[in-house]
């Protein structure tokens, strides 16, 4: 995340400055220069992903201020930077799959990879925090069902998880 917030990831605009590539155009959409912001917020896959996660604020964020984004749509505040890092990491990986293997990943594939990573994070969290990873998994599952899943649905899921946690 540090490289991302410092705009030092090896995107095409950085590689053009180093004279490694001839063009800074995004290889996925071809609609704009491939900057860190474009990869994480402006490219078609990124836009669709953030819309499905009900996080439209990510569509216009500057990477050096990504830490100021606040969660919405039922995404828990606790460990939110980790949630953002997880999603950004999988956007980066999807970009690299396209650039280096010429394979376009679908939104469903990226969300499934995010969910799998969230399941892995569950084992890294303390027992008191495991419910966060469970909430993330639910969020990724709901996002695969369609864009702009409602706040009400998210709150029901999170309320159920909190209730289950209290009963345990």
Residue ranges of the chain with pLDDT lower than 50? 150-151
CB contact burial 25-46 (16+ within 10 A = b; e otherwise): bbebbeeeebbbbbbbbbbebb
Locate the domains of the chain by residue range: 2-167
Question: What's the confidence (pLDDT) of residue 147?
Answer: 66
Tokens of 99: 């650039």
Question: What's the confidence (pLDDT) of residue 150?
Answer: 47
Whole-model pTM above 0.75? yes
126 in Cβ contact with 31 (< 8 Å):
no
Question: What's the confidence (pLDDT) of residue 92?
Answer: 95
Question: What's the confidence (pLDDT) of residue 168?
Answer: 52
Tokens of 84: 């953002």
């Amino acid at each position: 995340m540090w490289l991302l917030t410092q705009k030092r990831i090896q995107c095409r605009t950085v590689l053009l400055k180093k004279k490694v590539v001839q063009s800074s155009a995004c290889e996925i959409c071809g609609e704009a220069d491939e900057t860190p912001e474009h990869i994480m917020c402006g490219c078609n896959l990124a836009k669709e992903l953030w819309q499905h996660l009900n996080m439209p604020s990510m569509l216009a964020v500057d990477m050096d201020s990504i830490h100021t984004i606040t969660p919405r749509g039922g995404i828990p505040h606790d460990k939110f930077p980790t949630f953002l890092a997880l999603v950004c990491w999988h956007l980066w990986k999807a970009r690299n799959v396209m650039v280096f293997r010429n394979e376009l990943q679908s939104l469903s594939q990226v969300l499934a990879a995010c969910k799998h990573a969230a399941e892995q994070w569950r084992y890294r969290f303390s027992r008191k925090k495991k419910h966060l990873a469970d909430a993330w998994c639910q969020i990724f599952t709901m996002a695969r069902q369609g864009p702009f899943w409602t706040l009400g649905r998210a709150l029901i899921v999170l309320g159920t998880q909190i209730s289950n946690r209290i009963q345990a």
